[in-house]
Structure 1
Amino acid sequence: MISVISIILAGLIGSLPTAYLVGRYAGNIDIRGHGSGNVGTMNTGEVLGWHWGLMVFIIDLAKGIAVVYLARWSGLDPLLMASAAVAAHCYPIWLRFRGGKGLATSLGAVLAMPAFTYIAVFVLGWGSVWVYYQARSALARLGKVTPPDGNLFSDRANLLGVTALLFYALQPGPDWWLALLAVIITSRLIQSMLTR
């Protein structure tokens, strides 16, 4: 029973729409109707100022850290709890399932995990980016594809699902549903970038 309650609590923590609430408090605006329309740190910073964007980042980061500590307290898998929080952040029930990209919450969760986890995520994530750029540049020289557009974020976002699959495959007894969740979150990131 405690595991179900903990997962629900992680989802509720993750679904807290920080940027939306800060927008209402700081400027009496719906952040979704301004700037890029994204409910996240960057849009809040661009619309309301860097100090409000920083506040959103810190709170979203803290959400990720909090759910990992909640997992330790409840004896559940931190990856499960972090995945629930990030999924709820990307698809909050309070905003009709249109939330942020989950990057700050993911970063908070990764930073709160054991050193092996965040070192592995860092190495796999940036290693994937490096391999992608090398392969894409080589193919561009051959005229097979267009060269990388220089927007590291969009290219990196396309690799998040692959990186997550690799990371979970390296874990003993991989939980494939977590990899599926990573693909869902990645599709949310890509969808939000394409609709800008």
Structure 2
Amino acid sequence: MTPHLFCLVSQRDDLSLLPALADAGVDGFQVRDKSLATAALVALTRAVVAAVRPAGAVVVVNDRLDVALAAGADGVHLGADDLAVADARRLAPGLVIGATCRSRAEVVTAAGAGADYAGFGPVFASASKAGLPLPLGVPAVADAAGSLPLVAIGGITAATAGEVRAAGAQGVAVIGAIWRQPDPVGAAKELVAAVA
């Protein structure tokens, strides 16, 4: 099952809020922290799994199949420069595998390689990651929908999440829309309502 709302998590975030976020209805968490050494990333992933799995949330690890396997996560999210989706599927047939995609053609390719969902974006401008391409826009979501469940990412807010879902995204992934808000749990509840 592809989550309706992925919250990206790093060591900089307030991990004590994770159980409350999961209880509020955040049904997916992606551990993404490129600054951590492998052992620390495994420890962070284990902490996230322990915090949110009781609520039934899915945990995937960005880029690192080895960390996902070592930490007992549910899956891995792979970018264009990471391990190939087909290789990850062969090595870990039971894991959820997501693939970063920026066009319908890339979504179709990811589906053929064995991905379970496509992380699609950036849909809107985002300040959470440097070096992103120009925003794709909501029409690109509609164009790419159909081959794989899409998880839209990039500048998504509670105000735009419903529009993205209506365009064909199965779910959305956020960072700032939760972690940069004065009340992250309240913000998560608004997002959960918007993607319902």
TM-score (norm 1): 0.28
Q: Which is richer in strand?
A: 2
Q: Which is richer in helix?
A: 1
TM-score (norm 2): 0.28
